[in-house]
Amino acid sequence: MLLDVQNLETWYGPIAAMKGVNLTVAEGRITAVLGANGAGKTTLLNTLAGVIDPFKGKVLFQGAEVQGLDADAVARRGLVLVPEGRQVYPFLSVRDNLLMGAFARRDRDAVARDIERVQGWFPRLKERDAQHAGLLSGGEQQMVAIGRAYLSAPKLLMLDEPSLGLSPMLTHEIFGIITRIRDETGTAVLVVEQNAAVALKHGDDGYIMELGRIVAADTCAALSQKEDVREAYLGTGAGVHGLSGTQQRWKRRKTWR
Amino acid sequence: MAEIRFMGHDTPARAFRARVHEWSDRPALRHKLRGLWQTLSWSDYYARARAFGLALRELGVQRGEVIAVLAENRPEWLIADMGAQCMGIVGNGVYPTASAEQIRHILRDSGCRVLVVENQEQLEKTLSVREDCPALARILVIEREGLRKLDDPQVEFFDRFVQRGDDIATTHAQDFEDEIDAGKADDLAFLVYTSGTTGAPKGAMISNRNAVFQMTKAPEYLDARPGDKSLSFLPLCHIAERMSSVFNPLALGLIVHFPENAGTVANDMREVAPHVVFAPPRFWEKMHSLVELFVRDAVGPARWVYRRALERGRARVEARLNGGPVPGVGPMDRLLNRLAFHNVLCFLGMQNCRSALTGAAPVPPDLIRWFLSVGIELREAFGMTETSGFGTATPRGAIRLGWAGLPARGTELRIGADNEIQIRGPNVFAGYWNNPEKTAETVTPDGWLHTGDCGEISPEGYLAIRDRIKDIIITAGGKNITPTQIESQLKFSPYVTDAVVIGEGKRFVTALVMIDLEHVARYAQDQAIPYTDFASLTRAPAIVALIRAEIEAVNPRLARVEQIKDFRIIDQLLTAEDEELTPTMKLKRKVIAQKYATLIDGMYSA
């Protein structure tokens, strides 16, 4: 197992944001974590990336414990986070943004090859090579952020809501590239998403989080067949427009069968 | 039949009116609006009930017809119920967790004319079955959220309906008074559908006489004064809560508080600090395990003080229960109590509680011991829908562990065939709605109620309940086993929410266990036991070992034939919406036995 998370627990002051989370990410697979607002998804990624220290539990990356390490030490080991909302450097060019990802690398030839590779996945970044990243569209910034993360030669790429603020078409494009990254480089991906439909479509393994706990775990294919998941996350259940002729405002309480 | 009167009145409606005259501006009901407590006085309560009642009549609802409420506990519930009652209309409640199928059954069976629903969710459920309910004239929705575009001649908003009633009251208020005066002791006060662990729910008819009798008993059961507080957090569709929130306040002047929602009960308890609490054992068990877990995470000195205070408290409790000399309370005890238990009680919101009662399920003796130690006299009572609430209750200062108290004065108690507990008196209900056959099976011609429970009566007249007669297990060896008693011992463990003991026609006894997610997940976390979702938690070997240890701790206290030889953990997290649970979160024995047949067979095939 590339990443093995055991009984992870994170608190913000008196509030437990995440309790007893166990999950694994296998080599060369896309693992998706789904959940609504406030489920603890971002907390999970930030804890894994060393941005927050966990209160309890272990994070084993390639068999070694990495919980509690600083974010840069975690990143150097190949556990790389693409943060929520992109966070590119707006006044650096696209190329310099990508190079920032390779800041800790000394293998210049390989870096050049990786830049070409990223430009191959995202031709638009090549067109905008010298432009300030702050002038790019949201989708292009997401491409920069993913490319930048890839340039740090990750073994595990962690993506926090790549679909945030993107059109459905761009979302599919981004996820298409994520799939390509996995296929072409064998990089494992851990993606956190609210957009369950697209994440379940492209992911291999899936977890569903609610209120800081994992409530369901299975392959993405199996999850997307579950009635509860379909109703709560894919919006294919009955009664979106109810008999009263009004939009449904309530959510069925779930049992997770 | 003897006349039963409360304050000289033989219907609750007339007693209500008298109380409103007496207490007019004093607070009656409180609920939260955007986080702030709002108060309705007794005259507000009366005015709204009158408006609702008059509007019902305008709609053409006749005396003796049924209306129902499908909502969580809230003032509108009581307004609708009292409004109907004063008009001689029969109020009924439907569990908010009920499925559309159950709603259909209850609406059809009772011939319900008007249904008050809480919100869009409940409205949708009702609309999906209204075609099958020809008697249903109007659906009233309390919360408008999401329904702005609603356009349906059969559906109206509750506040607008009450507003119309108010307009009628400006000219026809006297009609309401006349209807109150027309009520008779034998008229029905309300209906309670039995939760139905077996078969379809039946509507138990509670007459005015039943309700008034229970009101006369309230001062005996409860130590309360006008202005004392209560929190209405159990379903109002249940007889116990209906009595506590509608009739006991009439009798005693309690201010009824409504929690914000089901998730805030613990918080609301703390804010309200009620003087009177009735709840099933499960609620008290939760309080106990909450404190135990809280103390476990507390700092060292706090733990030490709690343990010492508990030890000394236990010794006193033991002496008191055994009738021996009670060790004196020295300054040390007072200090420990002050340090430990005062905080515990404030933490639970129980610091004002003078009357704590429990019933509806067997009560583990250790639970009562614990509450006695911390200074709450938790008294056991026995009752059912068919006894309109309490049938027996433990008098203050006279707890006997394992016994559910003395019968209400004015009622008779006897043990019949199969050791069945039978009750006769003014608290015995008026029969099942439209179901004379079932009524005849349940009440004998000379008025004895078959409770369906078996038990015994002590020489002092205390009642002990053993089990439901139909739940008694006969093993392959021919031994009779009372599963509920065993289950209640298991449930005392903080890790076990509920359990079903199995063994009918089997060589040995086994159990299916429903674990408490909160506490078991916490244990897993502390012990670093890996799991992902609920199902994998129940399969983790360390968790199975944990539950095994809990069961093995109980086994020595059981007779040999009763000891649990094997068990399985139910691997689904069940909620009240699931058919496996009753609305009061008890496992349904029959459904469980069917649904988990493979798990059960697995325990006997080896």
Residues in A lying within 8 Å of B, measured between beta carbons = 6-7, 9, 19-20, 22-23, 56-58, 207, 213-217, 239, 242-250, 253, 255-257
Q: What are phi and psi of B429, to 5 degrees?
A: -65, 175
Q: Is the pLDDT of residue A122 over 60?
A: yes
3-class DSSP state of B358: strand
pLDDT tens string B190-201: 999 986 555 678
- Of the residues B183, B218, B243, the one at which a domain ends: B183
* Contact call for B149 and A215, based on CB within 8 A: no
Strand partners, B32: B37
Separation CA B85–CA B11 (nearest Å): 10
Q: Which residues in chain A touch residue B533, judged by CB atoms under 8 angstroms apart? A: 214-217, 256
Q: Which residues in chain A touch residue B145, judged by CB atoms under 8 angstroms apart? A: 249
pLDDT tens string A10-63: 998 888 889 889 999 999 999 999 988 888 899 999 999 999 999 989 999 999
Please name the member of B119, B128, B525 whose beta carbon is closest to the beta carbon of A20.
B525
Stated length of chain B: 606
Classify B397 in phi/psi space as left (phi over 0), alpha (psi -120 to 50) or beta. Answer: left
Q: Which residues in chain A touch residue B119, judged by CB atoms under 8 angstroms apart? A: 250
Sheet of strand B412-415: strand arrangement: B412-415, B420-424, B449-457, B463-468
Q: Is the pLDDT of residue A231 over 90?
A: no
Separation CA B484–CA B336 (nearest Å): 36
C-beta separation of B170 from B146 below 8 A = no
Q: Print burial letters for B264-285: b (CB count within 10 Å at least 16), e (below 16).
A: ebeebbeebbbbbbbbbbbbbb
| Least Cα separation, residue B96 to chain A (angstroms) | 12
* Contact call for B530 and A213, based on CB within 8 A: no
Mutation pick from A244, A256, A257 vs chain B, by most beta carbons of B within 10 Å, is: A244
Residues above pLDDT 90, as percent of chain B: 70
- For residue B419 the two structure tokens come to 């050791």
Nearest residue of chain B to residue A238 (CA atoms): B124
Q: Which residues in chain A touch residue B128, judged by CB atoms under 8 angstroms apart? A: 243
| Least Cα separation, residue B238 to chain A (angstroms) | 22
- For residue B499 the two structure tokens come to 């359990």
Please name the member of B145, B525, B533 whose beta carbon is closest to the beta carbon of A214.
B533
Q: Which residues in chain B touch residue A207, judged by CB atoms under 8 angstroms apart? A: 532
Clarify whether residues B479 and B448 are in a common domain. Answer: no
pLDDT band at B83 (very low <50, low <70, confident <90, very high): very high
* Contact call for B123 and A244, based on CB within 8 A: yes
* Contact call for A244 and B120, based on CB within 8 A: yes
Q: Is the pLDDT of residue A236 over 90?
A: no
Separation CA B95–CA B235 (nearest Å): 7
Which structural domain range is residue B504 located in? 472-604
3-class DSSP state of B114: strand
User: At B488, which CATH number?
Assistant: 3.30.300.30
pLDDT tens string B375-400: 999 999 999 999 999 999 999 989 99
Clarify whether residues B149 and B60 are in a common domain. Answer: yes
Separation CA B37–CA B370 (nearest Å): 32
| Least Cα separation, residue A71 to chain B (angstroms) | 24
Average pLDDT of chain B is 92
Clarify whether residues B460 and B321 are in a common domain. Answer: yes
Separation CA B228–CA B27 (nearest Å): 10
Q: Which residues in chain B touch residue A205, judged by CB atoms under 8 angstroms apart? A: none
Q: Which among B74, B48, B13, B3 is positioned nearest to B256, based on CA atoms?
A: B74
Instruction: Say how many CB pairs under 8 Å bridge A and B.
Output: 84
- Of the residues B167, B183, B199, the one at which a domain ends: B183
Clarify whether residues B462 and B477 are in a common domain. Answer: no
* Mean pLDDT, rounded, for A119-137: 92
pLDDT tens string B517-531: 888 988 998 888 888
* Contact call for B150 and A246, based on CB within 8 A: yes
Cα B573 → chain centroid: 22
| Least Cα separation, residue B526 to chain A (angstroms) | 8
* Contact call for B146 and A248, based on CB within 8 A: yes
* Mean pLDDT, rounded, for B246-251: 96
Separation CA B577–CA A255 (nearest Å): 9
Clarify whether residues B541 and B394 are in a common domain. Answer: no
| Least Cα separation, residue B74 to chain A (angstroms) | 19
- Of the residues B405, B437, B469, the one at which a domain ends: B469
pLDDT tens string B55-72: 999 999 999 999 999 999
Q: Which residues in chain A touch residue B152, judged by CB atoms under 8 angstroms apart? A: 244-245
Count how many Cα atoms sit within 13 Å of the Cα of residue B61 in the half-sphere of its side chain: 31
Separation CA B245–CA B251 (nearest Å): 11
Clarify whether residues B545 and B584 are in a common domain. Answer: yes
Separation CA B62–CA A15 (nearest Å): 54
Question: How many other C-beta atoms lie within 10 A of the C-beta of residue B226?
Answer: 13
Separation CA B27–CA B23 (nearest Å): 8
Tell me, yes or no, whether B250 lies in a domain: no
* Neighbouring residues of B509: CB distance < 8 A, sequence distance ≥ 6: B473, B475, B481, B486, B501, B502, B503, B561, B562, B563, B564, B565
* Contact call for B120 and A217, based on CB within 8 A: no
Separation CA A67–CA A30 (nearest Å): 22
Tell me, yes or no, whether B241 lies in a domain: no
* Mean pLDDT, rounded, for A164-169: 88
Tell me, yes or no, whether B553 lies in a domain: yes
Residues in B lying within 8 Å of A, measured between beta carbons = 119-121, 123-124, 127-128, 145-152, 155, 521-522, 524-525, 528-534, 536, 572-575, 577-578
Strands B412-415 and B114-117: unpaired
Binning chain B into helix, strand and coil, the percentages to the nearest 5 are: 45, 20, 35
Tell me, yes or no, whether B201 lies in a domain: no
Q: How far apart are the two ends of chain B, measured CA to CA in Å?
A: 60
| Least Cα separation, residue A56 to chain B (angstroms) | 8
Mutation pick from B525, B534, B572, B581 vs chain A, by most beta carbons of A within 10 Å, is: B525
Number of domains in chain B: 3
C-beta separation of A80 from A157 below 8 A = yes
Q: Which residues in chain B touch residue A249, judged by CB atoms under 8 angstroms apart? A: 120, 145-146
Question: How many other C-beta atoms lie within 10 A of the C-beta of residue B290?
Answer: 17
Mutation pick from B125, B527, B533 vs chain A, by most beta carbons of A within 10 Å, is: B533
* Mean pLDDT, rounded, for B96-115: 93
| Least Cα separation, residue A206 to chain B (angstroms) | 11
Tell me, yes or no, whether B203 lies in a domain: no
Question: SS in 3 state form for B495-557?
Answer: CEEEEEEECCCCCCEEEEEEECHHHHHHHHHHCCCCCCCHHHHHHCHHHHHHHHHHHHHHHHH
* Contact call for B124 and A243, based on CB within 8 A: yes
* Neighbouring residues of B26: CB distance < 8 A, sequence distance ≥ 6: B41, B42, B226, B227, B253
Range list of H helices, B232-299: 239-242, 248-252, 265-272, 281-296
Clarify whether residues B485 and B590 are in a common domain. Answer: yes
Q: Which among B289, B292, B358 is positioned nearest to B496, based on CA atoms?
A: B289
pLDDT tens string B463-510: 999 888 888 999 888 888 989 889 988 988 889 988 999 998 999 999
Tell me, yes or no, whether B249 lies in a domain: no
Most confident range, picked from B288-292, B436-440, B580-584:
B436-440
C-beta separation of A137 from A128 below 8 A = no
pLDDT band at A238 (very low <50, low <70, confident <90, very high): very low
Tell me, yes or no, whether B531 lies in a domain: yes
* Contact call for B533 and A242, based on CB within 8 A: no
* Contact call for B119 and A247, based on CB within 8 A: no
Clarify whether residues B375 and B440 are in a common domain. Answer: yes
pLDDT at A100: 92
Rg (CA), chain B: 25
* Neighbouring residues of A183: CB distance < 8 A, sequence distance ≥ 6: none
Clarify whether residues B531 and B400 are in a common domain. Answer: no
Tell me, yes or no, whether B4 lies in a domain: no
Higher pLDDT, B298 or A159: A159
The ipTM assigned to this model is 0.72
C-beta separation of B98 from B583 below 8 A = yes
Range list of H helices, B222-364: 239-242, 248-252, 265-272, 281-296, 300-321, 331-336, 342-348
Separation CA B194–CA B588 (nearest Å): 14
Distances (CA, A) of A81 to A29, A59, A104, B164: 16, 15, 15, 61
Clarify whether residues B428 and B497 are in a common domain. Answer: no
DSSP single-letter state for residue A22: E
* Contact call for A250 and B120, based on CB within 8 A: yes
Clarify whether residues B573 and B434 are in a common domain. Answer: no
Please name the member of A6, A19, A244 whose beta carbon is closest to the beta carbon of B150.
A244
Clarify whether residues B408 and B496 are in a common domain. Answer: no
Cα A69 → chain centroid: 20
Least confident of B245-254, B283-292, B325-334: B325-334
pLDDT at B293: 81
Q: Which residues in chain B touch residue A245, judged by CB atoms under 8 angstroms apart? A: 149-152
Average pLDDT of chain A is 88
User: At B419, which CATH number?
Assistant: 3.40.50.12780
* Contact call for B127 and A244, based on CB within 8 A: yes
Nearest residue of chain A to residue B578 (CA atoms): A255
